[in-house]
Structure 1
Amino acid sequence: MGIQKYVGRIKESGRTIRRHSSFYIGLYGSNWVNFMEDDYELVAELLTLSPNKRKYYQQG
């Protein structure tokens, strides 16, 4: 998986107000990274419970 360059969302076109401040991303970004490293197998297992919905899970 690795570490990506950005933890938060990239800038959305048409949006003038940011979703989260830099403080928020710094505070909670490490939680997301740790979750993805530790619980990736659990999420993959949960996705196998309903394979017909996999397409919707992958698109977000």
Structure 2
Amino acid sequence: MAIVYTSAIFQGTEIQKKQVQKYVSRRSQARKKYRRRSTFGVGKDGEQWVDYLDRHSLEIQDLMKLTRNKRRFYQQGIRAATLIRSIS
């Protein structure tokens, strides 16, 4: 359990360094005193998000064919997923 926890914290720290946290979890609000997600949560959610993209890539590509105006956001998300994959 300690190894998994340490790994998730390491991945969360790297995700925050590469500034792709906004794709994995919600941002904190300006008036809030505490962050919404811990470093552990960001690392764990980042891995789950990349796995989801891998599993459903064909469906996502079909949706992108239907909504061409969202292609730029899709490409930004794919770039973020590539950066997250390079961490693990």
**What is residue 46 of structure 1 aligned with on the other side?**
63
CA distance in 1, matches of 2:73, 2:53: 19
Gap runs ≥5 in structure 2: 1-10, 20-34, 78-88
Q: Deviations over 1:19-60 (max 9, x none)?
A: 742211233122112101101111111000022x12454356
Number of equivalent positions: 49
Instruction: Among all aligned residue pairs of Structure 1 and Structure 2, give the percentage whose two residues are the same amino acid.
Output: 31
TM-score computed with the length of structure 2 as normaliser: 0.39
Which stretches of structure 1, 4 residues or longer, exceed 4 Å deviation after superposition? Answer: none
TM-score computed with the length of structure 1 as normaliser: 0.51
CA RMSD between the two structures: 3.1
Gap runs ≥5 in structure 1: 12-17
